[in-house]
Structure 1
Amino acid sequence: MENASKNAHVQASASKTIAGVYGWMSFGVLISALMGLVLVQTQIIQALGNFYYGVIIAQLGVVLVMSFAAEKMSAAALKGMFLFYAVLTGFTFAILMLIYPIGNFIALFAMAAMGFAALAVFGAVTKKNLGFMRTFLIMGVFMILGANIVNIFIHSPILRSFTGWAGILVFSGLTAYDSQRIREGAYELALHDAGDTQAIRKFMIFGALTMYLNFINLFISLLKVFGGNRD
């Protein structure tokens, strides 16, 4: 009876943590989308276009700070940085809204959301250990990053299509893999650190950032392949 009660408590605590991860992730996506709409509708994006690479560097900086300085930061500070990152990504959303037909943008956003949800559920419920994919997925991320950097200079449609298809595969795999890691981490916290609210809050934010990045990159990859171009 006591074991059953403990298991139920662990299950409830882990489920609450997982819900927090996806709640923050969804909130971040919402902020980015709304910021993108504001920038496009007010035409501010045209004035800020010259700062595109500066925003990209700022985004990378925020992720690096969150990754390497987390131990010294409070959960509240991490939440603030996550929300700041979501605002910065709104700039990227605005650029994409200008590049691709809005109908395609909305349709592919919905497709990315449905695919992401299905992959996240699969990763959370499957009994198969997805850890075997880790090395290949990390290699894939670096390959896509390198190809994107090269394509900044050569503007190759073939390379662009390649990074799109590769991104769909890699970030689909990462979504399932990271979903499984989040489930396992949430249960580990529920078993050993249930009273450490700082640790749980930090876990939620890092999990949210991880899944947020997977979703955004999956969406951008779909746009590269199926988005078309404005006339």
Structure 2
Amino acid sequence: MENQNQDYNYNNVIQIEDSESTSRKYLASVFVWMFVALGISAFTTFEFFANASLMDLIVDPVAHRFTGLGYLAIFAPVAFSFVISFGFNRISYPAMLFLFITYAVTIGVSLSIFGLIYTASSIFGVFLSSAVVFGIMAIAGYTTHMDLTKFGSILIMIFFAAFAVGLINFFLGSAQLQYLLSFVFVAIMIGLTAYYMQMLKRIGAGMEFGTDSSKKLVLIGAFVLYTTFINLFTSMLRIFGGRR
């Protein structure tokens, strides 16, 4: 009986270690693609901000309003989000990779507009602060033993409600409401960072690598974390960014 119990415990330990190893491997791939997306967005943002002719394509230099392409750059990421999120089973891996990279480019184009509003030093400072907050919450989500499923579901519902209000306010132009929504979005993104990390950790634990499905799951994970970080960064920038 004693030997049987020892074998049973040993086998359990091996299973846990394999699960954790698979999860770490999956999350490592997720973060690699997340950083690739951030690099693409940063490069695109710099190119549009540094090149006046490119910036004129999205902001009319005379009227100081968004052009048609500018509105497209702002709202296109929303369309990409729905396609990537709900087209998992219908889209091939190459097509999803193309959408993911294009999504990062459009985010970069829309972020370049912030360079016209905020100082470069404040953008850099807020970016670092956002990265620290994101990192802390990612670690918290990965290490916590508390089930964040219900908590995350509530945050997602609040996010969609706040997003709808923000979309309406985009056309109303209320600075006070936008400022208030920024605090709401920061709180939501902080909580969602922990929730998504726990969710991705569980996905990675049951991952079978080498298939198109697993490759797409890596992109989905990168997309989720990348989008969460961008929303956190832009919301914090609206609160703490120093205007020109």
TM-score when normalising by structure 2: 0.87
Mind listing any 5+ residue stretches in structure 2 that lack a counterpart?
1-9, 60-66
Who is 1:18 aligned against? Answer: 27
Who is 2:124 aligned against? Answer: 106
Measured on the aligned residues, the alpha-carbon RMSD in Å equals 1.7
Which of 155, 166, 177 is the matching residue for 1:137?
155
C-alpha distance in 1 between matches for 2:136 and 2:150: 20
Query: Structure 1 residues 3 and 133 mapped into 2: Cα distance closer, same or farther (>3 Å)?
Result: closer
Q: Is the Cα–Cα contact under 8 Å of residues 36 and 94 in structure 1 kept in the other structure?
A: yes
Residue 72 (str. 1) matches residue 90 (str. 2): yes
C-alpha distance in 2 between matches for 1:84 and 1:195: 25
Deviates more, 1:194-203 or 1:116-125: 194-203
Query: Partner letter of residue 184 of structure 1?
Result: R
C-alpha distance in 2 between matches for 1:173 and 1:5: 32
Which of 31, 46, 51 is the matching residue for 2:56?
46
C-alpha distance in 2 between matches for 1:153 and 1:6: 54
C-alpha distance in 2 between matches for 1:76 and 1:98: 35
Q: Is the Cα–Cα contact under 8 Å of residues 118 and 241 in structure 2 kept in the other structure?
A: yes
Q: Is the Cα–Cα contact under 8 Å of residues 123 and 180 in structure 1 kept in the other structure?
A: yes
Structure 1 or 2: larger helix share? 1
C-alpha distance in 1 between matches for 2:32 and 2:131: 14
Query: Partner letter of residue 212 of structure 1?
Result: Y
Measured after TM superposition, the shift of residue 3 of structure 1 is 5.3
Who is 2:7 aligned against? Answer: none
Which of 178, 182, 203 is the matching residue for 2:217?
203
Query: Partner letter of residue 202 of structure 2?
Result: E
Indicate the structure (1 or 2) with the bigger Cα radius of gyration: 2
Measured after TM superposition, the shift of residue 90 of structure 1 is 0.7
Query: Structure 1 residues 88 and 128 mapped into 2: Cα distance closer, same or farther (>3 Å)?
Result: same
Who is 1:120 aligned against? Answer: 138
Q: Deviations over 1:87-117 (max 9, x none)?
A: 1111111011111111110000011111101
SS of equivalent residue, structure 1 residue 92: helix
Query: Partner letter of residue 237 of structure 2?
Result: L
Q: Is the Cα–Cα contact under 8 Å of residues 126 and 237 in structure 2 kept in the other structure?
A: yes
SS of equivalent residue, structure 2 residue 89: helix
Which of 152, 156, 165 is the matching residue for 1:147?
165
TM-score when normalising by structure 1: 0.91
Measured after TM superposition, the shift of residue 6 of structure 1 is 4.6
C-alpha distance in 2 between matches for 1:195 and 1:104: 41
Which of 199, 206, 211 is the matching residue for 1:181?
199
Measured after TM superposition, the shift of residue 55 of structure 1 is 1.8
Query: Partner letter of residue 46 of structure 1?
Result: D
Query: Structure 1 residues 103 and 147 mapped into 2: Cα distance closer, same or farther (>3 Å)?
Result: same
Mind listing any 5+ residue stretches in structure 1 that lack a counterpart?
none
